Amino acid sequence: MRSERTPDVLIVSLGSTEGLRSADDQFAQTLERAGASVEIARARRPREVRTMMLTDLQWARAARTAAVERLKDGRPRAVLYSSTTAALLWPRAGAIRFDASSRGNRPGRHGLWQRPLERRRLAQAPLLLPLTAQAMDEAPRSPGREQRTLVLPIPVAPSGTRQGVRDIAAVTYGANPSKKGLDLVLAAWRRLRRAAGHDGDELLIAGVGEADLLDAGVLKGREPGIRVVGKLPAADYRALLRRARLFVCAPRREDYGTAQLEALADGCMLVTTASPGPYAALPIARLLDPRLVGPDIEAGMRTALRDPTPGYAERALEALEPFSPRAVDRLVVERLLPRLLAEGAQLGP
């Protein structure tokens, strides 16, 4: 039963990271601009457990609880689960928006229970909304999958007026430093600074505190040419990107890569490894300057700093057009919302 306060769309948000929470907030705003009323049911952060399997179970239960509590107040026209984990124990079928499937990022014992249940949910969902086409390449196949799929990226745009002078050599994002390959980035940076001509250059590490990096053994102490700026408000972080010449990363796996897309939007050159996973910025980086993509991060940084490709930033904005708020808004208005509400109406309570 619908009441006056029942939304058109209920987003069940896992929100296990700040980036995911921000993406869900942005997506709700996009749907509202398209004319839908939206609410977000946020999963409460569960206690920490040791294994990936138990962590996913805790979060799946938290997402189910959030959905059940909100559905008691009325039946929205459509439910949308933000991530496959949020959908695993769903109380009602709905669309699934995801960056990667557990088939891709939960190999072996890490996804023993998640993968078969995810396969069922992806087959049952009326709509699949991957952030990239590559995410669907990794996902399990099911009948009618192509007809139920709409690739819907997270919108990205320049954060402000670009700086005329870029006085920061490099920025990296270090949250979850092992997955992000921060140890590889720092090792390459140290080698680069020891070479002639780079003594005055500085690498800024954002998204993680110095104490966490010391505990992880990534840093041994304060080092010349390396500065940890920690977790910054989004506006302050993006302001650093507008001052930086390059963004460098070496993720061991990349499920999307919002930080890389933001760096490109703000005029940074992207130096990166060719990481596995549905890495949205990787084909763009290869298109813009293949010299900056590959296992030799030190060589990529040296090339970017000493021999930058003319027009890199301008061509990056052109390549990012499918990710622009205007393009995503158009997809939502023309292709997502009419189908989302129609499919939701057919599912029943």
Question: Mind listing the pLDDT tens digit for each residue in 60-70?
Answer: 999 999 999 99
Domains 9-154+324-347 and 168-321 share a fold: yes
10 Å CB burial of residue 323 (0-12, 13-18, 19+) is: buried
pTM of the model as a whole: 0.93
pLDDT-above-90 percentage for the chain = 82
Its sign, for the CA torsion 169, 313, 237, 300, is negative
Q: Could you report the per-residue pLDDT of 273-286, keeping only the tens digit for each?
A: 999 999 999 999 99
CATH superfamily of 168-321: Glycogen Phosphorylase B; (3.40.50.2000)
Cβ atoms within 10 A of the Cβ of 194, count? 10
- How far is the CA of 81 from the CAs of 55, 152, 206, in angstroms? 18, 14, 29
Residue found by looking up tokens 């298109």 in the block: 287
Question: pLDDT category, 230, cuts 50, 70, 90?
Answer: very high
Buried b / exposed e along 25-46 (16+ C-beta atoms within 10 A)? eebbebbeebebebbbbbbeeb
Q: Give burial (CB, 10 Å; 0-12/13-18/19+) of 79.
A: buried
CB 282 within 8 A of CB 275: yes
Report how far residue 158's alpha carbon sits from residue 266's, in angstroms, rounded to the nearest whole number: 5
Domains of the chain, residue spans: 9-154+324-347, 168-321
Name the percent of the chain lying above pLDDT 70.
96
Supply the pLDDT for residue 4: 58
Neighbours of 285 (CB within 10 A): 24
Name which of 3-17, 53-67, 250-264, 276-290 the model is least confident about: 3-17
12-53 per-position pLDDT tens digit: 999 888 888 899 999 999 999 999 999 999 999 999 888 999
Q: Which letter, b or e, does each residue of 236-250 get, where b requires 16 or more Cβ atoms within 10 Å of its Cβ?
A: ebbbbbbbbbbbbbb
Residue 165's pLDDT is what?
85
Residue 241 near residue 258 (C-beta atoms within 8 A): no
Report helix, strand or coil for 4.
coil
* Confidence at 344, pLDDT banded by 50, 70, 90: low
Residue 302, pLDDT above cutoff 90: yes
- Averaged pLDDT, 161-183: 91
Both tokens assigned to 244: 């930086």
Rounded Cα distance, 58 and 129, in Å: 23
Count Cα atoms within 13 angstroms, Cβ side, for 168.
24
Please report the pLDDT score of residue 161 as a whole number: 86
What is the chain's mean pLDDT, rounded? 93
Query: For residue 5, what pLDDT is reported?
Result: 73
pLDDT in tens, 107-153: 898 989 999 999 999 999 999 999 999 999 999 999 999 999 999 99
pLDDT band at residue 1 under the 50/70/90 scheme: very low
d(CA 332, CA 150): 10
For position 334, what pLDDT does the model report?
96
pLDDT of residue 195: 83
pLDDT band at 220 (very low <50, low <70, confident <90, very high): confident
The whole-angstrom separation of Cα 56 and Cα 108 is 15
In the predicted structure, residue 96 carries a pLDDT above the cut 70: yes
Helix (H) or strand (E) segment spanning residue 340: helix 337-347
The stretch 162-185 carries a mean pLDDT of 92
What angle, rounded to 10 degrees, do the helices at 182-194 and 297-306 form?
A: 50
CATH numeric code, 9-154+324-347: 3.40.50.2000
Distance CA 118, CA 127 (A): 14
> What value does the mean pLDDT take over residues 176-191?
95
Instruction: Kindly give, in sequence order, each residue whose CB lies less than 8 Å from that of residue 287, ignoring residues fewer than 6 positions away.
Output: 315, 319
CB 39 within 8 A of CB 11: yes
